[in-house]
Amino acid sequence: GDSVTQMEGPVTLSEEAFLTINCTYTATGYPSLFWYVQYPGEGLQLLLKATKADDKGSNKGFEATYRKETTSFHLEKGSVQVSDSAVYFCALRHLYSGGGADGLTFGKGTHLIIQP
């Protein structure tokens, strides 16, 4: 079955540091890839997504590129802020050509702590 692997952390960085959270996946076919974020006390929300190989998703200064050859979707940000402290989840899902989709398959989540 499908699976997603990501570093669990916690990952602790200083403000303005460069961030990389690694994510690799195992899946048949060509899934869509996602990063979700869960801020303290809040619900899960979509951060960015990519639906095909070499696509780059971006939002709020975060970026991730769908790399089919390495089955990876690493999350990066050039300069993190304290407000980026949260748990980040990498996920995938399959879309069907006739419409419809699977549920999301999530990684275990990476707890990111940004210190001022």
User: What's at 94, amino acid-wise?
Assistant: H
C-beta of 32: minimal distance to other proteins in Å?
A: 8
- Cβ proximity to other proteins: between 35 and 80 the closer is 35
| Choices 21-29, 54-62, 72-80, 97-105; region in contact with other proteins by CB under 8 A | 97-105
CB 4, min distance to other proteins, A: 9
CA distances from 64 to 22, 39, 40, 69 (A): 10, 19, 23, 15
Contacts with other proteins in 47-86 (CB under 8 A)? 49
Strand-pairing partners, residue 89, are: 36
CA nearest neighbour of 70 among 37, 9, 22, 18: 22
Nearest approach in angstroms of CB 8 to other proteins is 9
* Selection from 111, 22, 11, 5 nearest residue 74 by Cα: 22
- Helices and strands in the chain, H and E counts: 0, 12
> Site for other proteins (CB under 8 A): how many residues?
21
- 105 lies in the binding site for other proteins (CB under 8 A): yes
Task: Please pick, from the candidates 14, 45, 79, 115, the single residue that binds other proteins as defined by CB under 8 A.
Answer: 45
Is residue 99 part of the contact set for other proteins (CB under 8 A)?
yes
